[in-house]
Amino acid sequence: MKIAVTYENGKIFQHFGHTEEFKIYTIENESIASSEIVSTNGSGHGALAGFLEDLEVDALICGGIGKGAKDALSDVGIKLYGGVDGDADEAVTALLKNELEFNENIECSHHNDHGHEHSCGSHSCGSHESKKYGGITEVTGENFSEEVTGCSDLVVIDFWAEWCGPCQMLSPVIDELSEEITDVKFCKINVDEQQDIAAKFDIYSIPTVIFMKNGKAVDKSVGFVQKEELFERIEKNK
C-alpha cells in the first residue's frame, strides 16, 4: 500500500492543486516501511490525480481540495483524507492507527465578503496568507469598481450569457478553478444584463475571459478553452 501526502518542509501542504511535492509512504504490515519525496514537476492540478495513479498511490492525505480534484481522485480509485494539517509523518502514523482526524466531506467553501472568510468544513485550509478568495463573484455596474478595478490581485472575469452554449460549457471549468485557486478572484459578468461593462471591454463574442491586475487588462481569451489552458494563463498572469 502507498499513501501520498501533499508536502512542504515536513508539513502537510494545504492546497492539493498547488502542491509542488508529495511525500510517498510505502506501507507494509500496517507500518511505514519506507518513504520518499517526489516532485510534481510542475504538473497542474488537473494532472495530479493521474500523477499519483502512476505512482500506484492508494490513499492521499491533504488539506484543502476542490470538487474537481476530489472527483478526479475518486475516478482513479484513490481514497481521500482531506482537511488535515500538521506534521506529515504524524498524520500517516495516525491514519495507520485509525486515529487520523479528517473531513470526509471536505470541499472548500468560501465567502467573498469584505473579510474574505475562508473555511473548509470543520478544518482550516491552512494559514497561507495568499488564500484570500474562492467561488464566483457576480459583478454588476454597482460593484465593478470595488470588486474589479479596486483589486490588486489577479481578477479573472468570465463574460457570458444564459443563451450561449459554449458559455455553459466553460462555466463548470471556471467554477472548478475558482475552488482550487484561492489567491485569484474569479468573477462573472452577464453581458445581457451588464451591456455597458461588456461594451467597455469590447466584448463581441462570448464566452470571453478577461484577466485583470491592478485595474488593467493583462490578457484575454475568447471562446471555450480547456481547464489546463486557463490554469496556465492564470499562473502566467499572477
pLDDT for res 14: 83
Q: Give pLDDT, residue 106.
A: 67
Q: Using 50, 70 and 90 to split pLDDT, how confident is the model at 187? A: very high
Using the predicted structure, report yes or no on whether residue 46 has a pLDDT greater than 70.
no
pTM: 0.50
Q: Given 62, 125, 151, 164, which residue is catalytic? A: 164
> What is the per-residue pLDDT for 64?
82
On average, the pLDDT of the chain sits at 85
- Mean of pLDDT values over 87-108: 88
How large is the average pLDDT for residues 60-88? 89
Catalytic residue among 108, 125, 167, 187: 167
pLDDT at residue number 238: 86
Buried b (16+ CB within 10 A) or exposed e, 220-229: ebeeebebee
164 is catalytic: yes
User: What is the rounded end-to-end Cα distance, in angstroms, of the chain?
Assistant: 38
Residues 6+ apart with CB under 8 A from 212: 148, 149, 151, 154, 155, 157, 218
* More reliable by pLDDT, 98 or 48: 98
Share of the chain above pLDDT 90, in %: 60
Examine the pLDDT at 108 and tell me if it is beyond 80: no
Establish whether 62 is a catalytic residue: no
Contacts of 225 (CB under 8 A, 6+ apart): 170, 173, 209
pLDDT of the residue at 28 = 95
Confidence grade of residue 17 (pLDDT, cut at 50, 70, 90)? confident
Domains within the chain, CATH numbers bracketed? 2-96 (3.30.420.130), 134-237 (3.40.30.10)
Question: What are the cell numbers at 59?
Answer: 490513499
